[in-house]
Homo-oligomer: A and B are copies of this chain.
Amino acid sequence: MKLDNTAKGVFPIAPTPFHADGRVDEASVDRMTDFYLECGSTGMTVLGVMGEAPKLDGTESLALAKQFIKRASSIPVVVGVTAPGFAAMQTLARASMDAGAAGVMIAPPNTLRTDDQIVGYYRQAVEAIGSDIPFVVQDFPQTFSVVMTPGVLRRIIEENSSCVMVKHEDWPGLEKISALRKFEKEGMRRVSILCGNGGMFLDFEVERGADGAMTGYAFPDMLVDIVKLTQAGERDKAHDLFDAHLPLLRYEQQQGTTGLAVRKYVMARRGIIASDAQRKPAGSISATAKAEVEYLLSRVARVDPRAKLSPV
Protein backbone atom coordinates (compact mmCIF):
# COMPACT_ATOMS: atom_id res chain seq x y z
CA MET A 1 0.00 0.00 0.00
CA LYS A 2 1.92 2.99 -1.27
CA LEU A 3 0.84 6.56 -0.94
CA ASP A 4 -0.30 8.11 -4.19
CA ASN A 5 -1.89 11.28 -5.46
CA THR A 6 -5.43 10.02 -4.87
CA ALA A 7 -5.05 10.24 -1.11
CA LYS A 8 -7.91 12.10 0.56
CA GLY A 9 -9.84 12.35 3.78
CA VAL A 10 -8.10 12.80 7.12
CA PHE A 11 -4.61 11.71 8.08
CA PRO A 12 -4.27 12.60 11.77
CA ILE A 13 -0.83 13.77 12.83
CA ALA A 14 -0.22 11.43 15.72
CA PRO A 15 1.29 12.87 18.87
CA THR A 16 3.70 10.66 20.76
CA PRO A 17 2.17 9.50 24.03
CA PHE A 18 4.60 9.58 26.93
CA HIS A 19 4.49 8.40 30.49
CA ALA A 20 5.07 11.06 33.13
CA ASP A 21 8.69 9.98 33.39
CA GLY A 22 9.35 10.56 29.70
CA ARG A 23 9.18 6.99 28.41
CA VAL A 24 7.06 6.29 25.33
CA ASP A 25 3.66 4.98 26.39
CA GLU A 26 3.23 2.03 24.07
CA ALA A 27 -0.22 1.06 25.26
CA SER A 28 -1.47 4.52 24.37
CA VAL A 29 0.16 4.25 20.97
CA ASP A 30 -2.07 1.30 20.21
CA ARG A 31 -5.18 2.80 21.75
CA MET A 32 -4.74 6.03 19.83
CA THR A 33 -4.19 4.17 16.58
CA ASP A 34 -7.35 2.18 17.15
CA PHE A 35 -9.22 5.40 17.80
CA TYR A 36 -7.99 6.92 14.56
CA LEU A 37 -9.16 3.86 12.65
CA GLU A 38 -12.55 3.87 14.32
CA CYS A 39 -13.22 7.49 13.60
CA GLY A 40 -12.77 7.13 9.87
CA SER A 41 -9.23 8.26 9.28
CA THR A 42 -8.03 7.40 5.81
CA GLY A 43 -4.37 7.48 6.80
CA MET A 44 -2.01 8.53 9.55
CA THR A 45 1.16 10.57 9.85
CA VAL A 46 3.75 9.83 12.48
CA LEU A 47 7.02 11.43 13.60
CA GLY A 48 5.90 14.95 12.71
CA VAL A 49 7.08 18.09 14.48
CA MET A 50 3.98 18.18 16.68
CA GLY A 51 4.53 14.50 17.34
CA GLU A 52 7.63 15.48 19.32
CA ALA A 53 9.66 13.47 16.84
CA PRO A 54 12.80 15.56 17.37
CA LYS A 55 12.77 14.53 21.03
CA LEU A 56 13.16 10.85 20.19
CA ASP A 57 16.49 9.28 19.46
CA GLY A 58 17.03 7.24 16.32
CA THR A 59 16.18 3.87 17.84
CA GLU A 60 13.02 5.14 19.49
CA SER A 61 11.85 6.85 16.31
CA LEU A 62 12.03 3.72 14.26
CA ALA A 63 10.46 1.56 16.94
CA LEU A 64 7.59 3.97 17.27
CA ALA A 65 7.04 4.19 13.54
CA LYS A 66 6.97 0.40 13.34
CA GLN A 67 4.42 0.10 16.09
CA PHE A 68 2.11 2.61 14.43
CA ILE A 69 2.47 0.93 11.05
CA LYS A 70 1.76 -2.49 12.43
CA ARG A 71 -1.30 -1.42 14.37
CA ALA A 72 -2.74 0.73 11.59
CA SER A 73 -2.34 -1.99 9.04
CA SER A 74 -5.47 -1.15 7.05
CA ILE A 75 -4.58 2.48 6.26
CA PRO A 76 -1.47 4.13 4.83
CA VAL A 77 1.02 5.54 7.32
CA VAL A 78 3.25 8.46 6.36
CA VAL A 79 6.50 8.78 8.33
CA GLY A 80 8.18 12.15 8.87
CA VAL A 81 11.82 11.72 7.90
CA THR A 82 12.98 15.34 8.07
CA ALA A 83 16.57 15.26 9.25
CA PRO A 84 19.60 17.54 9.48
CA GLY A 85 21.26 15.58 6.67
CA PHE A 86 20.49 13.19 3.87
CA ALA A 87 22.24 10.18 5.41
CA ALA A 88 19.97 10.19 8.45
CA MET A 89 16.98 10.89 6.21
CA GLN A 90 17.82 7.96 3.98
CA THR A 91 18.34 5.59 6.89
CA LEU A 92 14.98 6.42 8.45
CA ALA A 93 13.13 6.49 5.12
CA ARG A 94 14.44 3.10 4.02
CA ALA A 95 13.78 1.50 7.39
CA SER A 96 10.26 2.93 7.51
CA MET A 97 9.39 1.67 4.06
CA ASP A 98 10.81 -1.74 4.91
CA ALA A 99 8.51 -1.73 7.92
CA GLY A 100 5.49 -1.04 5.75
CA ALA A 101 5.17 2.73 5.62
CA ALA A 102 3.17 4.09 2.69
CA GLY A 103 5.41 7.10 2.15
CA VAL A 104 7.49 9.76 3.87
CA MET A 105 7.17 13.46 4.60
CA ILE A 106 10.03 15.92 4.15
CA ALA A 107 10.18 19.47 5.49
CA PRO A 108 12.82 21.89 4.21
CA PRO A 109 15.71 23.03 6.45
CA ASN A 110 15.35 26.62 7.62
CA THR A 111 18.54 27.69 5.89
CA LEU A 112 16.94 27.60 2.44
CA ARG A 113 16.07 30.97 0.95
CA THR A 114 16.04 31.11 -2.85
CA ASP A 115 13.72 29.25 -5.19
CA ASP A 116 16.65 27.28 -6.60
CA GLN A 117 17.86 26.27 -3.16
CA ILE A 118 14.44 24.85 -2.29
CA VAL A 119 14.00 22.98 -5.55
CA GLY A 120 17.58 21.72 -5.34
CA TYR A 121 17.05 20.48 -1.83
CA TYR A 122 14.13 18.27 -2.80
CA ARG A 123 16.06 16.98 -5.82
CA GLN A 124 18.92 15.92 -3.58
CA ALA A 125 16.58 14.47 -0.99
CA VAL A 126 15.01 12.26 -3.64
CA GLU A 127 18.45 11.19 -4.84
CA ALA A 128 19.25 10.25 -1.25
CA ILE A 129 16.15 8.27 -0.34
CA GLY A 130 15.47 6.90 -3.81
CA SER A 131 12.80 7.85 -6.31
CA ASP A 132 10.76 4.76 -5.47
CA ILE A 133 9.60 6.20 -2.15
CA PRO A 134 6.47 8.38 -2.41
CA PHE A 135 6.96 11.61 -0.53
CA VAL A 136 5.01 14.55 0.83
CA VAL A 137 6.33 18.11 0.65
CA GLN A 138 5.61 19.90 3.91
CA ASP A 139 4.94 23.57 3.14
CA PHE A 140 4.88 25.26 6.55
CA PRO A 141 6.58 28.66 6.43
CA GLN A 142 5.59 29.83 9.91
CA THR A 143 7.58 27.02 11.49
CA PHE A 144 10.32 26.35 8.94
CA SER A 145 10.91 29.91 7.65
CA VAL A 146 11.00 28.61 4.10
CA VAL A 147 8.60 30.28 1.69
CA MET A 148 7.58 28.24 -1.36
CA THR A 149 5.67 29.99 -4.09
CA PRO A 150 3.12 27.95 -6.04
CA GLY A 151 5.69 28.02 -8.87
CA VAL A 152 8.34 26.43 -6.66
CA LEU A 153 5.92 23.70 -5.64
CA ARG A 154 5.19 23.11 -9.31
CA ARG A 155 8.88 22.72 -10.03
CA ILE A 156 9.26 20.21 -7.20
CA ILE A 157 6.23 18.27 -8.40
CA GLU A 158 7.33 18.25 -12.03
CA GLU A 159 10.93 17.31 -11.31
CA ASN A 160 10.12 14.47 -8.94
CA SER A 161 7.55 11.91 -9.97
CA SER A 162 7.66 10.47 -6.45
CA CYS A 163 6.19 13.67 -5.05
CA VAL A 164 2.57 12.68 -4.54
CA MET A 165 1.26 15.10 -1.94
CA VAL A 166 1.58 18.60 -0.55
CA LYS A 167 0.97 19.03 3.16
CA HIS A 168 -0.34 22.54 2.92
CA GLU A 169 0.05 24.76 5.93
CA ASP A 170 1.05 28.10 4.55
CA TRP A 171 -0.86 30.93 6.19
CA PRO A 172 -2.59 32.60 4.49
CA GLY A 173 -2.99 29.73 2.12
CA LEU A 174 -6.37 29.56 0.43
CA GLU A 175 -5.18 31.18 -2.78
CA LYS A 176 -2.25 28.78 -2.92
CA ILE A 177 -4.62 25.81 -3.09
CA SER A 178 -6.50 27.51 -5.91
CA ALA A 179 -3.22 28.24 -7.70
CA LEU A 180 -2.08 24.61 -7.51
CA ARG A 181 -5.40 23.30 -8.77
CA LYS A 182 -5.23 25.85 -11.59
CA PHE A 183 -1.76 24.58 -12.53
CA GLU A 184 -3.23 21.11 -12.81
CA LYS A 185 -5.86 22.34 -15.22
CA GLU A 186 -3.00 23.78 -17.25
CA GLY A 187 -1.23 20.44 -17.34
CA MET A 188 0.65 19.94 -14.09
CA ARG A 189 0.54 16.40 -12.72
CA ARG A 190 -2.07 16.11 -9.99
CA VAL A 191 -0.99 15.84 -6.37
CA SER A 192 -3.00 15.24 -3.28
CA ILE A 193 -3.34 18.29 -1.01
CA LEU A 194 -3.97 17.71 2.67
CA CYS A 195 -4.11 20.70 4.98
CA GLY A 196 -2.57 21.42 8.34
CA ASN A 197 -2.56 24.39 10.73
CA GLY A 198 -4.73 22.43 13.12
CA GLY A 199 -7.62 22.70 10.71
CA MET A 200 -8.11 26.45 11.22
CA PHE A 201 -9.22 26.96 7.62
CA LEU A 202 -10.35 23.44 6.73
CA ASP A 203 -13.92 24.57 6.03
CA PHE A 204 -12.77 26.64 3.06
CA GLU A 205 -9.69 24.63 2.14
CA VAL A 206 -11.78 21.67 1.06
CA GLU A 207 -14.08 24.00 -0.87
CA ARG A 208 -10.98 25.34 -2.64
CA GLY A 209 -9.98 21.89 -3.80
CA ALA A 210 -7.96 20.38 -1.00
CA ASP A 211 -8.45 16.65 -0.54
CA GLY A 212 -8.69 16.79 3.21
CA ALA A 213 -6.68 17.33 6.35
CA MET A 214 -3.39 16.18 7.77
CA THR A 215 -3.37 17.69 11.19
CA GLY A 216 -3.63 16.88 14.85
CA TYR A 217 -6.75 18.55 16.26
CA ALA A 218 -7.98 16.50 19.18
CA PHE A 219 -11.26 15.77 17.37
CA PRO A 220 -10.15 14.11 14.15
CA ASP A 221 -13.61 12.59 13.98
CA MET A 222 -14.95 16.11 13.47
CA LEU A 223 -12.42 16.75 10.70
CA VAL A 224 -13.57 13.55 9.01
CA ASP A 225 -17.14 14.86 9.08
CA ILE A 226 -16.16 18.24 7.65
CA VAL A 227 -14.40 16.67 4.70
CA LYS A 228 -17.30 14.31 4.03
CA LEU A 229 -20.00 16.94 4.39
CA THR A 230 -18.15 19.40 2.17
CA GLN A 231 -17.44 16.84 -0.51
CA ALA A 232 -21.11 15.84 -0.35
CA GLY A 233 -22.11 19.43 -1.01
CA GLU A 234 -23.57 19.94 2.47
CA ARG A 235 -21.96 23.32 2.88
CA ASP A 236 -24.08 24.77 5.67
CA LYS A 237 -23.97 21.60 7.72
CA ALA A 238 -20.22 21.47 7.37
CA HIS A 239 -19.84 25.04 8.54
CA ASP A 240 -22.30 24.56 11.39
CA LEU A 241 -20.25 21.72 12.77
CA PHE A 242 -16.95 23.43 12.07
CA ASP A 243 -18.04 26.67 13.70
CA ALA A 244 -19.13 24.85 16.83
CA HIS A 245 -15.61 23.50 17.21
CA LEU A 246 -13.74 26.62 16.12
CA PRO A 247 -13.44 28.27 19.54
CA LEU A 248 -11.74 25.14 20.92
CA LEU A 249 -9.80 24.48 17.73
CA ARG A 250 -8.48 28.05 17.83
CA TYR A 251 -7.52 27.59 21.48
CA GLU A 252 -5.57 24.44 20.61
CA GLN A 253 -3.89 26.24 17.74
CA GLN A 254 -1.47 28.14 19.96
CA GLN A 255 2.06 27.81 18.71
CA GLY A 256 4.66 25.49 20.08
CA THR A 257 4.38 23.51 23.27
CA THR A 258 1.31 25.37 24.55
CA GLY A 259 -0.89 24.17 21.73
CA LEU A 260 0.44 20.66 22.08
CA ALA A 261 -0.30 20.74 25.80
CA VAL A 262 -3.92 21.62 25.05
CA ARG A 263 -4.17 18.93 22.40
CA LYS A 264 -2.79 16.22 24.65
CA TYR A 265 -4.95 17.35 27.54
CA VAL A 266 -8.11 16.97 25.45
CA MET A 267 -6.96 13.66 24.02
CA ALA A 268 -6.32 12.37 27.53
CA ARG A 269 -9.74 13.66 28.63
CA ARG A 270 -11.30 11.78 25.73
CA GLY A 271 -9.46 8.61 26.82
CA ILE A 272 -7.44 8.40 23.61
CA ILE A 273 -4.14 8.53 25.45
CA ALA A 274 -3.41 7.91 29.10
CA SER A 275 -1.55 11.09 29.96
CA ASP A 276 -0.92 14.55 28.59
CA ALA A 277 2.79 14.33 29.48
CA GLN A 278 5.30 15.84 27.07
CA ARG A 279 8.91 14.89 26.94
CA LYS A 280 11.29 17.76 27.82
CA PRO A 281 11.49 20.55 26.81
CA ALA A 282 7.83 20.32 27.69
CA GLY A 283 4.95 22.73 27.59
CA SER A 284 2.41 22.62 30.34
CA ILE A 285 -1.13 23.75 30.87
CA SER A 286 -2.03 25.86 33.87
CA ALA A 287 -5.06 25.31 36.06
CA THR A 288 -6.65 28.38 34.52
CA ALA A 289 -6.02 27.07 31.02
CA LYS A 290 -7.52 23.70 31.93
CA ALA A 291 -10.63 25.42 33.18
CA GLU A 292 -10.83 27.40 29.94
CA VAL A 293 -10.56 24.20 27.91
CA GLU A 294 -13.26 22.53 29.99
CA TYR A 295 -15.51 25.52 29.40
CA LEU A 296 -14.86 25.35 25.68
CA LEU A 297 -15.54 21.61 25.64
CA SER A 298 -18.84 22.16 27.40
CA ARG A 299 -19.82 24.70 24.75
CA VAL A 300 -18.82 22.43 21.87
CA ALA A 301 -20.86 19.66 23.50
CA ARG A 302 -24.05 21.65 22.97
CA VAL A 303 -23.69 20.86 19.25
CA ASP A 304 -21.38 17.85 19.11
CA PRO A 305 -22.04 15.15 21.72
CA ARG A 306 -18.53 13.77 21.23
CA ALA A 307 -17.32 16.70 23.30
CA LYS A 308 -19.51 15.72 26.24
CA LEU A 309 -16.97 14.27 28.66
CA SER A 310 -17.32 12.94 32.15
CA PRO A 311 -16.41 15.56 34.77
CA VAL A 312 -12.74 15.85 35.72
A–B pairs, 22, beta carbons within 8 Å: A54-B84, A55-B84, A57-B58, A57-B88, A57-B90, A58-B88, A85-B279, A86-B281, A110-B110, A113-B141, A116-B151, A120-B281, A121-B281, A172-B254, A201-B251, A204-B251, A208-B288, A239-B299, A243-B247, A243-B299, A246-B247, A246-B250
Binary CB contact string for chain A from 116 to 127 against chain B (1 if under 8 A, 0 otherwise): 110011001001
A184 at the binding interface (Cβ < 8 Å): no
Q: Please report the C-alpha to C-alpha distance between residue A239 and residue B259 in the assembled complex, in whole angstroms.
A: 21
CB-CB < 8 A to A243: which residues of B? 243, 246-247, 299
A258 at the binding interface (Cβ < 8 Å): yes
CB-CB < 8 A to A254: which residues of B? 171-172
Q: Please report the C-alpha to C-alpha distance between residue A243 and residue B250 in the assembled complex, in whole angstroms.
A: 11
The answer on a CB contact under 8 Å between A280 and B128 is: yes
CB-CB < 8 A to A151: which residues of B? 116
Q: Is the interface of A mostly helix, strand, loop or mixed?
A: helix
The answer on a CB contact under 8 Å between A255 and B87 is: no
The answer on a CB contact under 8 Å between A178 and B288 is: yes
Interface residues of A (CB under 8 A from B): 52, 54-60, 84-88, 90-91, 110, 113-117, 120-121, 124, 127-128, 141, 146-149, 151-152, 171-172, 174-175, 178, 200-201, 203-204, 207-208, 239, 242-243, 246-247, 250-251, 254-256, 258-259, 279-281, 286, 288-289, 292, 299
The answer on a CB contact under 8 Å between B175 and A87 is: no
Q: Please report the C-alpha to C-alpha distance between residue A110 and residue B55 in the assembled complex, in whole angstroms.
A: 16
CB-CB < 8 A to A56: which residues of B? 85, 87-88
CB-CB < 8 A to A147: which residues of B? 113-114, 117
Q: Please report the C-alpha to C-alpha distance between residue A171 and residue B259 in the assembled complex, in whole angstroms.
A: 10
- Known interface pairs A57-B91, A86-B280. Does A172 touch B256 (Cβ–Cβ under 8 Å)? yes
Given contacts A56-B87, A243-B246, A250-B250, 11 further A-B contacts (CB under 8 A): A56-B85, A110-B110, A114-B114, A114-B147, A128-B280, A172-B258, A204-B292, A207-B292, A208-B288, A239-B299, A243-B243
The answer on a CB contact under 8 Å between B172 and A259 is: yes
CB-CB < 8 A to A60: which residues of B? 87
CB-CB < 8 A to A120: which residues of B? 281
Q: Please report the C-alpha to C-alpha distance between residue A246 and residue B88 in the assembled complex, in whole angstroms.
A: 37
Q: Please report the C-alpha to C-alpha distance between residue A103 and residue B171 in the assembled complex, in whole angstroms.
A: 33
Taking a contact as CB atoms closer than 8 A, the residue among B55, B116, B207 that contacts A86 in the complex is B55
Residue of B nearest to A286 (CB): B175
- The 3 A-B residue pairs with the shortest CB-CB distance, nearest first, are A172-B254, A54-B84, A55-B85
- Known interface pairs A55-B86, A58-B88, A254-B171. Does A124 touch B299 (Cβ–Cβ under 8 Å)? no
